[in-house]
A and B are shown apart, each in its own frame.
Chain A
Amino acid sequence: MNLSPKFDAAAATAEVGRAVAHDSAARHVSGSAPYIDDMREPAGTVHLAPGHAEVAKGKIAGMDLSAVKAAPGVIAVLTASDIPGINDCSPAMGDDPILADGEVHFHGQVVFAVVAETRDQARRAAKLGKIMIDAAAPAVTVEDGEATGETVLPPYEFLRGTPDEEMDKAEHTVTGTIRIGGQEHFYLEGQVAMSVPGEGGEMLVYSSTQHPGEVQHCVAKMLGQSDATVVCECRRMGGAFGGKESQAAQWAALSALAARVTGRPAKMRLDRDDDMIMTGKRHDMRADYRVALDARGVVSAVDMNFASRCGYSADLSLGVNDRTLFHADNAYFYPHARIASQRIRTNTVSNTAFRGFGGPQGMVCAERMMDQIAILMDADPLTIRKRNFYARGRDVTPYGLKLEDNIMAALVRELEKTSEYKTRRRDIARFNKKSKVLKKGIALTPVKFGISFTLKHLNQAGALVHVYTDGSVQVNHGGTEMGQGLYIKVAQVVAEEFGIPVATVKITATTTEKVPNAAPTAASSGSDINGMAAKRAAGAIRDRMADLAAKLHQAKKSDVRFAGGKVYAGNAEMSFAELAKECFLDRISLSSTGFYSTPKITWDRNTATGRPFLYFAYGASCSEVTVDTLTGEMRINRVDIVHDVGRSLNPAIDIGQIEGGFVQGMGWLTTEELVYDDQGLLRTHAPSTYKIPTCSDVPEDFRVNLWASKGNRENTIYRSKAVGEPPLMLATSVFSAITMAIASLNKGVVPPLDAPATPEAIMRAVNAMKVEG
């Protein structure tokens, strides 16, 4: 890790910009950071296990749950009819039953839930349930879904200019298809919730969720009572990556239902295999495209269509698939464009948010187009990419946003130099000429990722800051901690505001009691919006404290400074704690909320106009791979990254997001393969069959640098940039490098490589090269 030259030391403030460790680091390494399953269970806690459908589609003809009820330790068996309120855990559309009622739509859908004294008893009892289903033929693949014509949402598209006419008159057109696989989140902590019933119908729900507000809402709706009677709390998650944005609600709701039915605290922790079968994943897609270009490989028009496997219900498919369209340009200017999306209904688990939220699929398709153009023209793909970059006069996206902060050309120029791309590309060509079995490839690809929720109303955040009379500070906000370091970043912001050491800022669990109606922690927005809200809350208190300090010392308010745990007013100096005490004695409020709503967002989906993003995050990566053309095995030799985080709030945390995001993206595009059989059963439902990267998959030669930014052009929190999702897409360089290695087998032939590039997928492409030769 190289932490320079990403941060301008002169501009550095005391706490913001420092590489402070994650707030829980010492507890993580000692096993003393409790996750929900680690909390001391209240006496009498009962445990749930799900009973699920084992066919993918059909009507429930009947159920025999007598053996379940008779099993040791069983207290209750919950079915849809036990739900007092609304049987729905969907984020918006009302189409996700908590417990299936009447019919099942995918293999793994929960039909009943067992409540028992122990988790083991519940799991064993759940196996005894008999669900009789009049099975119908399921639609499993995108193509199955296309054949039935069923969608979860209407199609949507961006249209600019006259792409069809441009195709007709273009010098060249190329067409292609690429299949892009889905991805299991594989958060290490599986889905879990514990509900504790209280007086007067109150329900306290501990949920591992990115969206406590939605869990609160879902539980209240399910119980048929008001939001105000339900509290949802989350201190930390053991990973989420989008998988606990909407899909944590079902398990929280079931635990609350059990708590209501039994009157006892109730916990539900899914077994890993159940988790993988019952919760949604990244959408897999088939992208079909047509590109018109001139003799230099400059694109004049595109016609792109993304057929997306959404699963059985809408879930977050609207936003996810919209974002595919928003990023189908990646960093490239398409003068004329039709970019369309089909939201296909299948009898598979409902696909959901996953880091990048549809964007990665759009970008992979854009990069395939660039690779294809370059291979057909026998040109360096980087040259083709650069020719198609957004630039002055070519700076309006297909959805009408004018790029104002484009730094791509400069960033790529730097990476091209530091990665020695040109020399290595030449060396690789020489290597490939001599090497029979092994072939190498190198690729340098860009990432431009739009920051803000494309659903406008989610771009808001609240915070609550308290200063106590001993000078200690407590901060709370609506964002959740899933490992990304949000809590420490916000604490740094608050410490900065008060001029106190970050260690004295007490971070507290996210709860709907302290900050209501919060947006999900998603869309990379966590530190942008919660940091700003916390800054405002702290700023309001500081302002009042400064008033008093000025009054006490006959100084001008503008001369009051907060630094190093002290407050300076003119020539006088007092500790932050002393001033807090004085405020209390003077009856000045030491508590404040803060609220932030992202400015400049004007996106109107109906007219497909306006500005969906406040700004863009930029990055680029260069990967070199070696492919074994006998077996399809592949090794990554070296990776270079430059990524733009604006002025970093915490360079160590940001580097962690970049490296971790890259590796997660690399897994998505290489080893991670979801296999459904023709009956819709997921065959890869455990880490024994679904393979996320291990340490040895990450190249030892892994050079990650932050872009030497002068700061975000927009007025974000300390001019930083969001970093959660964008780095995942840096991994497209791995996929393109594999493509180039295979392309070396037969000049001018485009390898039909699909993602993920497993050994088998690589061999399919290798064999196709021989045939076409």
Chain B
Amino acid sequence: MTIRSSIRFRYRGETVELSNVGPMDTLLDWLRLDRGAMGTKEGCGEGDCGACTLAIGSLRDGHIVYEPVNACIQLLGMVDGKEIITVDDLAWGGKLHPVQSAMVDTHGSQCGFCTPGFVMSLFTLYHQGGPVDRRTVNDHIAGNLCRCTGYRPIADAALATCLGQPNDAWSARVGEATSHLADLDDDADVFVGSDAVFFAAPASEDALAALYLRHPDATLVGGATDVGLWITKQLHTLPKIIHTGRIKSLHRVAEGVDGLTIGAAATYAEAESALGGIDPDIAEMLRRLGSKQVRASGTVGGNIANGSPIGDSPPVLIVLDARLHLRRGDTERDIALEDFFIDYGKQDRSASEFVVRISVPRLADDQVFRCYKISKRFDQDISALLGAFRFTVKGGKIRDARIAYGGMAAIPKRALAAESALQGIRLKDSNAWQKALAALQQDFQPIDDMRASARYRMETAKALLTKALIEAAGEVSNRTRVVGTRGGELESVA
């Protein structure tokens, strides 16, 4: 297996090759401090404001795809094999890019500090092709905060420009850009640095397993949407970084009749349509998970492996009975996802062991699924709590209930007492629900924090179960929700 001791990427029409890349170097610092490219701004340093948004071009099935990324928490090494486009270089031949001109025409900038990030987000929307509506625009720029304009003129700029097939300097040179990226696409294992301090990006699962065995103290990084903050905010020193993004097999999302398998390095963006296809509520949850930027980098596997009690996908996947496939060296094993989470910060994962893939069963015809995310702000907010529900209903009775919550305990956790209280009751018998609602108090002792009080969490956990039952019993969701109503109501199984 070849080892490459440098990273290579496309920037300003050239291939940049760097052999002096620190494991903690960020893309934003490289642009601003090394290259003096000052268009991309740092607003928060944690991937939440979008001021540092730039576009990253990657090859996907031979086509170039531009995605918005927060440069502040993107590790420099992670851009190996990609193309980087920043706001500094968007105007071409002395002419503003269409999204730039539209932002001027609609008076879409005031203080201007967030503007480069918005422009780059709009650039990636422009390159998605196809006309957009306000809702699409909202989702696309949910990861860009503006404190001045109130967003309306920015949305107008998007609506005025993102009309169909892109027609700009990038679309004109797409063939050239694609072949440049294809040239960079080798199967070498990237290892930059020394055994003590390195950035590594192996190209295969075998290489990853071997490297991680040698360096059990290394930090495994998927999209760095969390690890990035350990560096920029907690100022941890992480001398050994192993990035999973170059392993193609780990990006694979396979859709079968009974279920899906999602490679651990698949980004949310890559997994979104398959996972969201299971149920509209999952699509809605994914729409609100992080932001476009976060979903373009963050991985489903990483979200699980880091064991966060407030990750949005684990409760949903637990309710769906997902299984986790882990590997250490040459040993593989397979566990129920819910058993992976042991306690706060503690998972069933031994040293040098990593998540390979997640398998997720589809819903059976007699199963109703619901999930609800509760946060102070609808978009790009961490949940105060998230409830996921799967009821198996036969002859008007609940034969089986699986319920899990995030934000209610130190780990994403099932509500076993509530589940058993629902067993066998008539779905439409709302009096019978009460026992399950009360049982939630046995299942959880939530805490107070800045997102919600314990009292609100408990009360709302009950409210979400109530809502799921109301809807399962046949109420249409536009009578029960202010956000995320399910299209094409409704598969009432009552």
Residues of chain A having any CB pair with chain B under 8 Å? 1, 19, 21-22, 24-35, 37-38, 40, 120, 123-124, 127, 185-190, 236-241, 271-273, 435-438, 482-485, 626-628, 630-635, 652-653, 655-656, 659-664, 671, 673, 675, 683-684, 686-689, 691-698, 700, 702, 758-760, 763, 767
Q: Which residues of the partner chain B approach A763 to less than 8 Å between Cβ atoms?
A: 456, 459-460
User: Does A1 lie within 8 Å of B138, measured CB to CB?
Assistant: no
Q: Which residues of the partner chain B approach A189 to less than 8 Å between Cβ atoms?
A: 41, 43, 111, 113
Besides A30-B90, A188-B111, 15 other A-B contacts (C-beta < 8 A): A21-B104, A22-B112, A28-B103, A31-B87, A35-B41, A37-B38, A240-B111, A241-B147, A436-B479, A438-B481, A653-B107, A660-B149, A683-B449, A694-B138, A695-B141
Q: Which residues of the partner chain B approach A693 to less than 8 Å between Cβ atoms?
A: 150-151, 377
- Shortest C-beta distance, A300 to chain B (Å), equals 39
Q: Which residues of the partner chain A approach B113 to less than 8 Å between Cβ atoms?
A: 35, 187-189, 238-239, 483
Would you give 18 A-B contacts (Cβ < 8 Å), ordered by A? A26-B100, A29-B108, A35-B41, A37-B42, A120-B29, A188-B49, A188-B114, A189-B41, A241-B147, A272-B44, A272-B46, A630-B467, A632-B456, A655-B107, A664-B150, A683-B450, A686-B44, A691-B375
Known A628-B481, A687-B46; judge A656-B149 contact (CB<8 A).
yes
Which single member of B48, B110, B138, B452 contacts A696 (CB below 8 Å)?
A: B138
Q: Is B480 an interface residue (CB 8 A)?
A: yes
Q: How far is the CA of A693 from the CA of B456 in the complex (A)?
A: 22
Q: How far is the CA of A21 from the CA of B115 in the complex (A)?
A: 15
Question: A29: nearest residue on chain B (CB-CB)?
Answer: B100
User: Does B380 lie within 8 Å of A671, measured CB to CB?
Assistant: no
User: Does B150 lie within 8 Å of A698, measured CB to CB?
Assistant: yes
Within 8 A of A (CB), among B369-399: 372, 374-382, 384
User: Does A25 lie within 8 Å of B107, measured CB to CB?
Assistant: yes
Which single member of B44, B96, B152 contacts A29 (CB below 8 Å)?
A: B96
Q: How far is the CA of A482 from the CA of B151 in the complex (A)?
A: 17
Q: Which residues of the partner chain A approach B108 to less than 8 Å between Cβ atoms?
A: 29
User: Does B377 lie within 8 Å of A697, measured CB to CB?
Assistant: yes
- Shortest C-beta distance, B152 to chain A (Å), equals 5
Q: How far is the CA of A491 from the CA of B125 in the complex (A)?
A: 35
Q: How far is the CA of A483 from the CA of B147 in the complex (A)?
A: 10
- Shortest C-beta distance, B33 to chain A (Å), equals 8
Q: Which of A241, A438, A630 has the most CB of B within 10 A?
A: A630
User: Does B48 lie within 8 Å of A688, measured CB to CB?
Assistant: yes
Q: How far is the CA of A692 from the CA of B449 in the complex (A)?
A: 19
Q: Which residues of the partner chain B approach A675 to less than 8 Å between Cβ atoms?
A: 450
Q: Which residues of the partner chain B approach A664 to less than 8 Å between Cβ atoms?
A: 147, 150
Q: Which residues of the partner chain A approach B38 to less than 8 Å between Cβ atoms?
A: 31, 34, 37-38
Known A31-B116, A689-B451, A758-B376; judge A22-B109 contact (CB<8 A).
yes
Question: B120: nearest residue on chain A (CB-CB)?
Answer: A31
- Shortest C-beta distance, B180 to chain A (Å), equals 23
User: Does B48 lie within 8 Å of A687, measured CB to CB?
Assistant: yes
- Shortest C-beta distance, B318 to chain A (Å), equals 21
Residues of chain B having any CB pair with chain A under 8 Å? 29, 36, 38-46, 48-49, 51, 86-88, 90-91, 96, 100-101, 103-105, 107-116, 119, 134-135, 137-139, 141-142, 144-156, 233, 235, 372, 374-382, 384, 449-453, 456, 459-460, 463-464, 466-467, 470, 479-483
Q: Which residues of the partner chain A approach B374 to less than 8 Å between Cβ atoms?
A: 631, 633, 759
Q: How far is the CA of A203 from the CA of B480 in the complex (A)?
A: 62
User: Does A187 lie within 8 Å of B110, measured CB to CB?
Assistant: no
Q: How far is the CA of A661 from the CA of B29 in the complex (A)?
A: 33
Q: How far is the CA of A351 from the CA of B41 in the complex (A)?
A: 27
Q: Which residues of the partner chain B approach A483 to less than 8 Å between Cβ atoms?
A: 109-113, 148
Question: A273: nearest residue on chain B (CB-CB)?
Answer: B233
Which single member of A28, A240, A656, A691 contacts B112 (CB below 8 Å)?
A: A28
Q: How far is the CA of A37 from the CA of B42 in the complex (A)?
A: 9
Q: How far is the CA of A26 from the CA of B101 in the complex (A)?
A: 8
Question: A437: nearest residue on chain B (CB-CB)?
Answer: B480
User: Does A435 lie within 8 Å of B479, measured CB to CB?
Assistant: yes
Q: Which residues of the partner chain A approach B36 to less than 8 Å between Cβ atoms?
A: 40
Which single member of B51, B149, B380 contacts A694 (CB below 8 Å)?
A: B380
Q: Which of B39, B107, B135, B467 has the most CB of A within 10 A?
A: B107
- Shortest C-beta distance, B138 to chain A (Å), equals 4
Q: How far is the CA of A482 from the CA of B384 in the complex (A)?
A: 34
- Shortest C-beta distance, B310 to chain A (Å), equals 11
Q: Which residues of the partner chain B approach A686 to less than 8 Å between Cβ atoms?
A: 44, 46, 48, 233
- Shortest C-beta distance, B42 to chain A (Å), equals 8
Q: How far is the CA of A763 from the CA of B109 in the complex (A)?
A: 36
Known A25-B104, A759-B376; judge A687-B482 contact (CB<8 A).
no
Q: How far is the CA of A694 from the CA of B142 in the complex (A)?
A: 6
Q: Which of A30, A273, A664, A759 has the most CB of B within 10 A?
A: A30
Q: How far is the CA of A70 from the CA of B453 in the complex (A)?
A: 43
Question: A661: nearest residue on chain B (CB-CB)?
Answer: B150
Question: B118: nearest residue on chain A (CB-CB)?
Answer: A29
- Shortest C-beta distance, B252 to chain A (Å), equals 31
Question: A482: nearest residue on chain B (CB-CB)?
Answer: B111
Q: Which residues of the partner chain A approach B104 to less than 8 Å between Cβ atoms?
A: 21, 25-26, 29
Question: B42: nearest residue on chain A (CB-CB)?
Answer: A37
User: Does A696 lie within 8 Å of B378, measured CB to CB?
Assistant: yes
User: Does B456 lie within 8 Å of A694, measured CB to CB?
Assistant: no
Q: Which residues of the partner chain A approach B480 to less than 8 Å between Cβ atoms?
A: 437-438, 628, 630
Q: Which residues of the partner chain B approach A633 to less than 8 Å between Cβ atoms?
A: 374, 378, 481-483
Q: Which residues of the partner chain A approach B372 to less than 8 Å between Cβ atoms?
A: 631
Question: A185: nearest residue on chain B (CB-CB)?
Answer: B147
Q: Which residues of the partner chain B approach A626 to less than 8 Å between Cβ atoms?
A: 482
Q: Which of A190, A239, A661, A675 has the most CB of B within 10 A?
A: A239
- Shortest C-beta distance, B154 to chain A (Å), equals 7
Q: Which residues of the partner chain A approach B155 to less than 8 Å between Cβ atoms?
A: 695
User: Does A688 lie within 8 Å of B96, measured CB to CB?
Assistant: no
- Shortest C-beta distance, B239 to chain A (Å), equals 14
User: Does A28 lie within 8 Å of B378, measured CB to CB?
Assistant: no
Question: B106: nearest residue on chain A (CB-CB)?
Answer: A1
User: Does A188 lie within 8 Å of B51, measured CB to CB?
Assistant: yes
Q: Which residues of the partner chain A approach B460 to less than 8 Å between Cβ atoms?
A: 630-632, 759, 763
User: Does B152 lie within 8 Å of A698, measured CB to CB?
Assistant: yes
User: Does B459 lie within 8 Å of A21, measured CB to CB?
Assistant: no
Q: How far is the CA of A695 from the CA of B125 in the complex (A)?
A: 15
Which single member of B153, B376, B466 contacts A1 (CB below 8 Å)?
A: B153
Known A696-B142, A763-B456; judge A28-B451 contact (CB<8 A).
no
Q: Which residues of the partner chain A approach B459 to less than 8 Å between Cβ atoms?
A: 763, 767
Question: B116: nearest residue on chain A (CB-CB)?
Answer: A31
User: Does A127 lie within 8 Å of B235, measured CB to CB?
Assistant: yes
Which single member of A671, A673, A692 contacts B147 (CB below 8 Å)?
A: A692
Which single member of B111, B451, B452 contacts A239 (CB below 8 Å)?
A: B111
User: Does B377 lie within 8 Å of A694, measured CB to CB?
Assistant: yes
Q: Which residues of the partner chain A approach B29 to less than 8 Å between Cβ atoms?
A: 120
Q: How far is the CA of A40 from the CA of B33 in the complex (A)?
A: 10
Q: How far is the CA of A615 from the CA of B314 in the complex (A)?
A: 57
User: Does B41 lie within 8 Å of A687, measured CB to CB?
Assistant: no
Question: B49: nearest residue on chain A (CB-CB)?
Answer: A687
User: Does A695 lie within 8 Å of B40, measured CB to CB?
Assistant: no
User: Does A187 lie within 8 Å of B111, measured CB to CB?
Assistant: yes
- Shortest C-beta distance, B385 to chain A (Å), equals 10
Q: How far is the CA of A689 from the CA of B111 in the complex (A)?
A: 23
Known A241-B147, A660-B149; judge A760-B377 contact (CB<8 A).
no
User: Does B46 lie within 8 Å of A31, measured CB to CB?
Assistant: no
Q: How far is the CA of A436 from the CA of B479 in the complex (A)?
A: 8
Q: Which residues of the partner chain A approach B115 to less than 8 Å between Cβ atoms?
A: 28-29, 31
- Shortest C-beta distance, B323 to chain A (Å), equals 30
Q: Which residues of the partner chain B approach A635 to less than 8 Å between Cβ atoms?
A: 482-483
Q: How far is the CA of A696 from the CA of B150 in the complex (A)?
A: 10
Q: Which residues of the partner chain B approach A436 to less than 8 Å between Cβ atoms?
A: 479
User: Does B110 lie within 8 Å of A485, measured CB to CB?
Assistant: yes
Q: Which residues of the partner chain A approach B100 to less than 8 Å between Cβ atoms?
A: 26, 29-30
Q: Which residues of the partner chain A approach B103 to less than 8 Å between Cβ atoms?
A: 25, 28-29
Q: Which residues of the partner chain B approach A662 to less than 8 Å between Cβ atoms?
A: 150
